[in-house]
Structure 1
Amino acid sequence: MEQKEHFHGSDLEKIEKIFGIKKENIISFSANVNPLGISYDLKEELPKHIDAITSYPDREYTDLRRAIGDYIGIDHSNIIVGNGSTELISLVTQNLHPKKALIVGPTYSEYEHEISLEGGRSHYYRLHEDENFGLNEQHLYDALTTDIDLLVICNPNNPTSSQISRPVMRNILDHCKEKGIFVMVDETYVEFSENSEAITSIPLTQIYNNIIILRGISKFFAAPGLRLGYAICGNHSLLKEMESFKNPWTINSLAAIAGEIMFRDKRYIEDTKELISSERKRICTILDRYQSHFKYYVPHANFILVRILDDELTSDHLFEKAIKKGLMLRDCSSFPFLDNKYFRFCFMKPEDNDRLLDVILDDIPADDRTN
């Protein structure tokens, strides 16, 4: 079957229907979800709170916001929670009404979608392959014209796994402040970064009023089904406006309690960081042996973007080979500025990573393969 449709990491039902593989038997390297599964403490403690669904959650979610504040080192008054990061992106755009947004990409498509729903236009600041998809700071400043009112940055970025340091982010905020541009930073993957405390822009929210940071529990805490996201912003007037647009109780009682539990599970957090760091280094070392066939871009998140250098091999070919073995990688040809020579996969458990690498490297001639 020729694979023409582009599948998201959550499209397991579609995969099941098209390829005849039960979704329970698919290992998704496309979803970028923590391979350890849900928090240890959450698995043990959440069932004890089942009776919480008999009452409404706290409308202000005070305990949840305090737990998040303790986790990220910020006062809970600077935090707003939402039904996943998607609701928060929507709330930001509903309140800012951006007429023209600049999105650093290739990146997640939902930003452009939400901006368009508010009647705004999106333009892309392109990250270039010949610069390894790193941010060219000066070129970005040249693109920040006065008619732009919103800058959108995913950091670390999906799908490139590149990241921006906090000093550079501060420079960006200074330039945006001068031109009246608001900055939305999506930090969905920052907790996977090798030195996340030095990368996160959360401390900058205490200095600048033109930044909001989005985070969630779908990826790092492996709980996309709970639909819990949060945003950090020092601009309290904006937070108040966002709250006024929200429907009440968009987070259910169990999700709120789950958040309080998982953000305090230090053993799980450390185990996750250790596993991802170890596998990231190991997989890069393996791919280094095949530089004439594949080029990867230094990853900072829990996934890696790879470019195919062989003329006859394409990302959809690799997708089909992998999915027939119950392994789902991401064909990146649907991302802006990428084509069918790019694919992405996240770091799972070592034995699963080895299975996927066997598929990826299978097309390499035997003489070029090393142990």
Structure 2
Amino acid sequence: MIKHKDHFHGSDLEKIEEIYGIKKEEIVSFSANVNPLGVSPLLRTTLADKIDAITTYPDREYTSLRKCIAAYCGTDHENVIVGNGSTELISLFIQIEHPKKAMIIGPTYSEYEREISLGGGTTLYYPLREKDDFRLDVNDFISHLNENIDLLVICNPNNPTSSCITSADMRHILDACKEYDIYVMVDETYVEFAENMEEIDSVPLTNYYNNIVILRGTSKFFAAPGLRLGYAITGNRDLIKAINTRKNPWTINSLAVVAGETMFSDTAYIKETKDLITKERARMYQAFCESPDYKVYKPSGNFMLVRILRNDLTSQELFDRAIREKMMIRDCSTFPFLDNKYIRFCIMNPEDNDRLLHCLLNNE
């Protein structure tokens, strides 16, 4: 095994190529959590047909795009803000709210803490517990909220645990946060992959609560991370005005507008994605449930977290085993509250999933 201290993100294929000598084009990334169908055929043809869109500036208000997003999400287009990926919107939101003390439910995506730190704030983590299968104990969590916290960050479904919070529980959280004047930022990057999406979608709550903003993007579900198209939904018009005032004009390019207006109404692709992920997720979950070497946590996203039960095996060793077979999984030892006994991988096409199952379950 190559000894190294690198922990690779799903986009780090160049580093993999350098260290392992494997061409990045040959690697199946089970680490990036991107839709295995790739870009939809409709989007490919539409972008080719409308390439001349780049000869003009997009609408400064992105009205048509925001209406498409609103129809897709079931909200009013006035509640929608678009940005250059959800990362731009996270940054803008934190700049505006300028939290002094934030609470993050972890383990989770590291960018939240980074942005809060850049704004001069400090971060507390509320840990999801392994004994609860990384599912949130809502009553216990609420008991840890207080008036010193001004921002709560929730990833739902959560990365890397793939656990979720129902909208009923989210209501309890929002009510408690309202008492303490805490704003809630919910990252729903993976919500469209959830089989029970209607039970965890927080968009309807924006009609009743003004202390919530929801972030989504097109990188994962629509397999378009390079498009850099993200959006936020909130019923707080003051926040929308503040973000639009601060946001640079035309951060969404003309082709991204065309792409967005196409993909959100591409019902055939959306259904095919949901059907594939639902079927393959259940199959892979069952396979790991039957293995004595692993404990798998019930997933809601298009990925699953697995704990290694064997004493003679680590997450880095499994990463190494998989990458030598040109498959990249995530070594989760760098996530808060996890160690070198956890791996994460996403759901891919059936043939690739079979290869990964054989690699992780059958090799000694």
**Distance change (3 Å), C-alpha of 1:354 and 1:3:** farther
Mapped to 2, the partners of 1:21 and 1:335 lie a distance apart of: 26
Tell me which residue corresponds to 1:220: 221
Render the CA deviation track for 1:227-260: whole Å, top value 9, x for unaligned.
Answer: 0000000000101101111111111100111000
Shift in Å, 1:195: 1.7
Deviations 1:332-360 (A, max 9, x none): 00000000000000000011001011111
Residue 316 of structure 2 is matched in structure 1 by: 316
Given the two structures, how large is their TM-score scaled by the length of structure 1?
Answer: 0.97
Are 1:105 and 2:106 matched, yes or no? yes
Task: Provide the secondary structure at the position in 2 that maps to 1:143.
Answer: coil
User: 2:98 is matched by which residue type in structure 1?
Assistant: H
Aligned alpha-carbon RMSD (Å): 0.8
> C-alpha distance in 2, partners of 1:137/1:238?
27
Q: Percent identity?
A: 63
Structure 1: which 5+ residue stretches go unaligned? 365-371
* Alpha-carbon offset, residue 39 of structure 1: 2.1
User: Which residue is equivalent to 1:41?
Assistant: 42
- 1:266 corresponds to which residue? 267
Return the letter of the residue paired with 2:166.
Answer: S
C-alpha distance in structure 2 between counterparts of 1:362 and 1:2, whole Å: 24
Q: CA offset at residue 128 of structure 1? A: 0.4
- Kindly indicate whether residue 152 of structure 2 is the aligned counterpart of residue 151 of structure 1: yes
Residue 334 (structure 2) aligns with: 334
User: Which residue does the alignment assign to 1:194?
Assistant: 195
Task: Work out whether 1:28 is the aligned partner of 2:29.
Answer: yes
Tell me the residue number matched to 1:298.
298
Q: Quick one: structure 1 residues 315 and 23, their matched pair in 2 at CA, closer, same or farther if it must change by over 3 Å?
A: same
Amino acid at match of 2:362: D
Deviation at 1:363, TM superposition (A): 3.7
How many angstroms apart in 1 are the aligned matches of 2:4 and 2:50?
44
Distance, in Å, in 2 between the alignment partners of 1:131 and 1:63 is: 44
Say which SS state the counterpart of residue 139 (structure 1) adopts.
Answer: helix
Structure 2 residue ranges without an equivalent (≥5): none
- SS in structure 2 opposite 1:214? strand
By how many angstroms is 1:143 displaced?
1.2
SS of match in other structure, 1:348: coil
Greater Cα offset, 1-10 or 262-271: 1-10
Q: State the alpha-carbon separation in 2 of the partners of residues 23 and 213 from structure 1.
A: 34
Name the SS of the counterpart of 2:50 in structure 1: helix
Match for residue 209 of structure 2?
Answer: 208
- Structure 1's consecutive aligned runs of 4 or more residues displaced over 3 angstroms after TM superposition are none
Pairs within 5 Å for 1:31-110: 31-110=32-111
CA distance in 2, matches of 1:247, 1:288: 48
Hey, what does 2:288 align to over in structure 1? 287
Give the deviation of 1:40 after TM superposition: 2.6
1:55, distance to aligned residue in structure 2 (A): 1.0
Distance 1:197 1:168 in 2: 13
CA apart distance, 1:3: 3.4
Residue equivalent to 1:367: none
Report if the CA contact (8 A) 1:40-1:265 is conserved.
Answer: no
Distance in 2 between residues matched to 1:183 and 1:218, nearest whole Å = 22
Shift of 1:38: 1.0
Distance 2:42 2:196 in 1: 24
**Given that residues 161 and 298 in structure 1 are in contact (C-alpha distance below 8 angstroms), is that contact kept between their aligned partners in structure 2?**
yes
* Residue matched to 1:164: 165
Q: Which amino acid aligns with 1:355?
A: R
1:369 aligned partner: none
Partners of 2:312 and 2:348 in 1: CA distance: 28
Provide the rounded CA distance (Å) in 1 between the counterparts of 2:286 and 2:234. 39
